[in-house]
């Protein structure tokens, strides 16, 4: 589970990146500006081929943001934001 401090750090870093690129913080599907943050990191394991599923190996840790109106879910790579997962 993520601490409230870690959530705020992530939200701040994401907001800063969005604003720096001149983008809106609104949901791209419905325009809502309120989001929920998943209370844990997600791990997307990279698959070496499409014929089998591997549960170990290289991965991309992400945090997910969910629109509280329409449920649109977006994942953001922790490393790209300069925020440590712990």
Q: Is pLDDT at 20 greater than 70 in this prediction? A: yes
b/e burial code for range 13-36 (CB count within 10 A of at least 16 → b): bbeeeeeeeeeeeebeeeeeeebe
Q: Does the predicted TM-score (pTM) go above 0.85? A: no
Q: Residue 8 falls within a domain, yes or no?
A: yes
Q: Is pLDDT at 26 greater than 90 in this prediction? A: yes
Q: Residue 44 falls within a domain, yes or no?
A: yes
Domains in the chain, number? 1
Beta strand ranges found along 1-86 (DSSP E): 35-37, 42-45, 59-67, 73-77
Mean of pLDDT over the chain = 89
Range of the domain at 18: 4-81
Q: Residue 86 falls within a domain, yes or no?
A: no
Q: Residue 37 falls within a domain, yes or no?
A: yes
43-85 pLDDT tens trace: 999 998 889 898 888 999 998 999 999 999 999 998 888 876 6
**How big is the chain, counted in residues?**
86
How many other C-beta atoms lie within 10 A of the C-beta of residue 83?
A: 18
% of the chain beyond a pLDDT of 70: 97
């Amino acid at each position: 589970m993520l601490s409230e401090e870690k959530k705020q750090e992530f939200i701040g870093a994401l907001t800063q990146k969005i604003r720096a690129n001149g983008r809106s913080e609104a949901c791209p599907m419905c325009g809502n500006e309120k989001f929920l943050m998943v209370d844990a990191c997600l791990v997307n394991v990279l698959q070496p081929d499409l014929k089998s599923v591997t549960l170990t190996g290289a991965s991309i840790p992400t945090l997910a943001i969910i629109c509280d109106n329409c449920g649109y879910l977006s994942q953001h790579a922790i490393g790209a934001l300069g925020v440590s997962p712990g």
